[in-house]
Structure 1
Amino acid sequence: MATLTAARAKAIRDPGKHRADKGLYLDVRSATSKSWVQRITIFGRRRDIGLGSYPAISLAQARKQAAENRATVAEGRDPTVKEVKVVIPTFREAAYMAHETHLPRWKNPKHTKEWIRTLERHAFPVIGGKPIDSIGVVDVLGVLTPIWSKVPETARRVRQRMRTVFKWAMAHDFIDLNPAGEAIEGALPPMRRIVNGHRKALPYQQVPDAILKIRSSEAWPATKLAFEFLILTACRSGEVRSAMWSEIDVGARLWTIPAERMKARKEHRVPLSASALTLLESAREFRDSTGLVFPSPQGKMLSDNALSLRARKDKLGAVPHGFRSSFRDWAAECTSASHAAMELSLAHSVGSEVERSYARSDLLEQRRELMEAWGDYICSSDPVTGSQSC
């Protein structure tokens, strides 16, 4: 059979398949209906692939496409499967997508905004527009080095959040290694030791004096009660500020915090000491339609800065969260409470995941004794010295 030429392809009218090249045929149905077909074996199976109509696709174009298809098969790929071009996001795009992914597990609206703002402020100007697969350790150092020693706490957060973005990119197969991970540690100078502002704590011996300062301050009464209740229960600020009367069972001397308000997303039972119950009696004066135990003057939940601001104005030398550390130190040094009871009082996980699956008890009665002793300790200070020992 003569090799098909461009002239013959144009003139041919006989119906049937006319060979144009190895496995390539011009399929003629009529003088005005012609198309290219390639017969090729793909993964052991013979296939007919349409390459387009003639004359829209010329003989030369058809031969070129047929040759490319044969090369694709030789490489072990299927030419009929169109490869989707992967669009690599920039760091900025990846950061917003990672942020969106993590939103459901973040409870604090302020934190969700601050998380992305930190990257917008420090990382985006340097690497925001770079494809995430082109970013290396040197680029990450370009973000961190200027702030590493100057504002170490901010630098730590920026690195942590960058690392989260790169983890997201790894999970989506955009990159293989995390350039903000361990690889950069040797290139960064030792971080200046800082006092972590949201963890600054008092020695437990000074907590009774702090209670006296809070009581004598000029703050909104419900704010003062909330702060003291936070110390008495060793709970977190958000848990106390959002406390509802419906969660308080005075008869059972119990405050049950629902799972959705807990950091670990697990319901937490807080035994209420005599001191805590007395405080709640004072708080009833502010009970309103919101159901909040400690409402603001506007009848809303106290802001997340209300207690922190109070601590600064009253010069307590600690932040609200730090009183949890004070409680933990006191419990370890001044009581015979078990490690588990102390940790569960702070709503911390105890033991491995397997151990926790078998530990059904939350040691409520042990914790009740512990919180009662804590209440007695911090509310019975020497009025002169304002402090006491175990």
Structure 2
Amino acid sequence: MLFPTLTGARQCQGGHAMGKLTVKRVEALKKPGLHGDGGTLYLRVAPGGSKQWVQRLVIDGRRHDIGLGGWPLVSLAEARDIAFKNRRKARRGKDPLAKRRRAKAPTFREAAERTYDGLKARWRSEKVRRTWWQQMELHALPRLGDLRVDRIGRGDVLAVLTPLWTSKPEMGRKLRARIKAVLAWAQAHGHCDTNLAGEAIDGALPSMRGTGRNFRALPYHEVAAALGMVQASGASVAAKLCLRFTILTAARSGEVRGMTWAEVDPEAATWTVPADRMKAGKEHRVPLSGAALDVLAQASELRDRRSDLCFPSPRGGKPLSDMTLTKVLRDNGLADRATVHGFRSSFRDWCAETGKPREIAEAALAHTVGGVEGAYFRSDLFDRRRVLMDQWAAFLTGKGADVVALRR
């Protein structure tokens, strides 16, 4: 079944929508994000200022964002005309994307090969390169390999992941990150509209042994672009700095929002979180990268004499609320794809996909483990965690690896 979403626009003679946008408003729009014309037509403004026409249609029960071309090459009137024709096709049971899909959609195997070619140069370890592809061939390609990426359904991805999700959770996590990377490549190249290895399947996966709830999380290679978008936004300086520091340190939001200057040793580049503010009830030392120290230097210029907090609320010097950071994501069009806590998952996926030792990644996240592994965690991993967090900061700031544009 194909049907368009047809709300929010009045119809003028000939069936074209009389929208909310005007030529002058289109020219004047600067704020990044989606700006609705009514009905199914939107103008997407990128952080750099470029503008693209996007139409949102629901086809076969799935939402599709159809690119209609960039402004001013495609005028407001032309975008409305194209959108109207697409809606008319959809109402008649035709797929407006059919011709485009037939022309260029690769199979999952082809997309995986292209993704692998782009990623393998970043991995120094031959073992990481070999394991990445072997696991894809063993678990994902038998089911997904011959399917075109635009025809892969939610059930296909679940059929691959579910058998591993509880029996081999670490492998399941890594495989999901790899499938997500392949579909992110397909999205970035316009071959599909939804990453079905992302939040679309969170509620359908069984509880992973030894883990808590799932949080919406961006693919790790989109986090840098998200940071850039937030930095350019109109959010309060304190909120932007707090969110940036949270992502750079992979810390929990509450730990950062309650952080005080007394906990920071800038000379040792270390932040020590006291036991009473840690989820596990144990003191936790956090190595601070140069990028994290830069954030604190900016925060110190805003220091509030009423409070020792590093990131106080502009009102009264109290801690920022969790909703303040969530609002930053929402105002930048990110809330349907990410939560603040979800950036810890993005960090964990980056660790897994770039061959970082699991025990170092878990220690960086201050996760509590038991048994023999727990005994190992009591050894000093601080210096190794410092190297890891420096690498993460380099990745986010564009000094360690290529990143891709954010999909909205």
TM-score of the two chains, using structure 1 as the length reference: 0.47
User: Taking CA–CA contacts closer than 8 Å with sequence separation of 6 or more, which of the two structures ends up with the larger relative contact order?
Assistant: 2
TM-score of the two chains, using structure 2 as the length reference: 0.45
Q: Which has the larger radius of gyration?
A: 1
